[in-house]
Structure 1
């Protein structure tokens, strides 16, 4: 049984046989003739077969050498095809990218950005999953992940995508019915819609945890309950921009419930990353670079009850 045979020795034998000359093969491979002769002798010894009938005038393969050359030619062709395929993989704008997103990004805005990328790059396929922070792992086959909050895994590369600001929102109809909480203690009297999959959980001492609660596992569902006037919900403000503009939802001026969390795009350190993955990374970073697209200025949408506005108007008139 043949032992100690490696692909380099097969390559050398293939080139010597193809060129019918050790001298010519040494020039092509930039290797000394002595090294090539030694490798051929080692190959023959490992196989227990004479492959080349050597003499000073002629170069000739034995019958066994001819058969071995034909088989080696097929192996080398397959290896070269595999090499070419992998190298093309690094530059081609075609492939599949598996992406992990936090549940906060289950919204129209995220979809529109991904759709724009796919429209511009139809050969690149996106495979998108919503994942809990603790369940995310590159071992699951993800190429990229968008993460909220402070990062802990230093083995990965992180590119900043800005920040996401959160706020407590409700419908005006709910606030007219149950009153406007002015401070944290006032929240005890309200119904809180808790999103269990949030990457930004409320503090364990928060009065929100002592409210009457409805627990849902998706932000979109929580937003729907709030829009219908069921209670208060803490959301990323970019997720409810349309509802804030239309007045369907308003922001409560409870400072303790407002927060901005850093947003990052994460991936493994890999200098041989496929070109299509790099293109997607550049696209995401570029659209976030010049504008903070995931934050919303809360001031225009903070709720002031009609009574508060009337009192303010009266005070202003009196002072005048």
Structure 2
């Protein structure tokens, strides 16, 4: 028998001075209340209640036991309220990791706004292009970009990003604008961490190997190289959109661009999605754009993106 069996029934009887009223309060039968209290007395080897046809009252032992049980039940109620309040108002530590540039330009301002909304939350944002092990590093959430691989992670799509192949007007004036993927062989391609670029041709994804005399794992460095006319670069929109708008860079091969790649929120599938994480993910979905996948589902991790 559980050590808690009969306690709620006993307290209800002590406070209502009636087995019938206690049953109504608890939503159970009078007989069940009586059985539970009798079993409790047998287990304690003590008489807790005086029973007469007119009245139920506490014995000395019952009065002492009631006082302790009331404190315990009050503590449980307080614990439930604390959990409920925690769900309504996030507090405690929230650890998030994301790629550096996307984190600096897009994620950090949103996380900062989220922290302002919930002042009892302690946020640690770790920006790194290394893909940290969420469990080993104690991360609550990771933001990943691009295509994802099968894994034990859960993922929710937050938004999309678009890749652009672009170059300066001076470069295109000197070397011409490519109109097909085969023409890339004749161009200086500014290579990132991967030696291929991603396209969509006739509805199929296609990786095209590229080469050039400049390679760098920094998106900003490749953007600068493209601005200075050193070649073509394939870069996410958050690197180049302002330069495309100003005309300092020109987007090419747009008809072969893949549809927007995913921006993902990942967390371990075996970890309960806490209210603070769920609220942050919902906030990011709302702030970043239209959600393409409405539910949390088994997905993938470790996106193979050219530039973080």
Interval containing the TM-score (normalised by the shorter chain): 0.5 to 0.7
* Aligned 8 A contact 2:223 2:233 in 1: yes
Match of 1:194 among 168, 192, 204: 192
Aligned position for 1:263: 262
Structure 1 position 78 matched with structure 2 position 80: no
Aligned to 2:285: 284
Higher relative contact order (CA 8 A, sep 6+): 2
CA distance in 2, matches of 1:15, 1:181: 83
Residue 305 of structure 2: aligned partner: none
Aligned twin of 2:295 = none
- Residues 48-83 of structure 1: CA deviation (Å, up to 9, x unaligned): 333334455653434433332222111111110111
Q: 1:66 to 1:120 in 2, by over 3 A?
A: closer
CA contact (8 A) 2:93 2:123 kept: yes
SS for the counterpart of 1:194 is: coil
Q: Deviations over 1:90-146 (max 9, x none)?
A: 444777665554556234344445555555666666554457797565895535756
Is the contact made by 1:26 and 1:36 (CA closer than 8 Å) also made in structure 2?
A: yes
> CA RMSD of the aligned region, Å?
4.8
Deviations along 1:266-296, one digit per CA (max 9) or x if unpaired, are 5789999748944861663365249xxxxxx
Determine which of 105, 108, 113 is the counterpart of 1:108: 105
The 3-state SS of whatever aligns with 1:214 is: coil
Q: Unaligned 5+ residue runs, structure 1? A: 291-320
Q: Where does structure 2 lack aligned partners over 5 or more consecutive residues?
A: 200-204, 292-308
Matches for 1:107-186 after TM superposition, within 5 Å? 107-115=104-112, 127-130=124-127, 140-142=138-140, 145=143, 147-149=145-147, 156=154, 158=156, 161=159, 163-171=160-168, 175=171, 179=175, 182=178, 183-186=183-186
CA contact (8 A) 1:193 1:215 kept: yes
Match of 1:5 in 2: 2
Conserved in 1, the CA contact under 8 Å of 2:158 and 2:285? no
**Cα distance in structure 1, aligned partners of 2:197 and 2:29:** 63
Q: Match of 2:209?
A: 207
Equivalent in the alignment of 1:24: 21
Which residue number in structure 2 is paired with residue 313 of structure 1? Answer: none
Q: Give the Cα–Cα distance (whole angstroms) in 2 for the partners of residues 155 and 110 of structure 1.
A: 20
Q: Is the 1:133–1:199 contact (alpha carbons within 8 Å) kept by the matching residues of 2?
A: no
Higher strand share: 2
Aligned residues: 278
Select the structure that is richer in helix: 1
Alignment check: 8 A CA contact 2:89 2:118 kept: no
Give the 5 Å matches for 1:17-56.
17-56=14-53
Partner residue in 2 for 1:239: 239
Question: Judging changes above 3 Å, is the alpha-carbon distance between structure 1 residues 9 and 141 closer, same or farther for their aligned structure 2 residues?
Answer: farther
Q: Distance in 2 between matches of 1:205 and 1:5?
A: 63
SS in 2 for 1:206: strand
Q: Per the alignment, in what secondary structure is the counterpart of residue 46 of structure 2?
A: coil
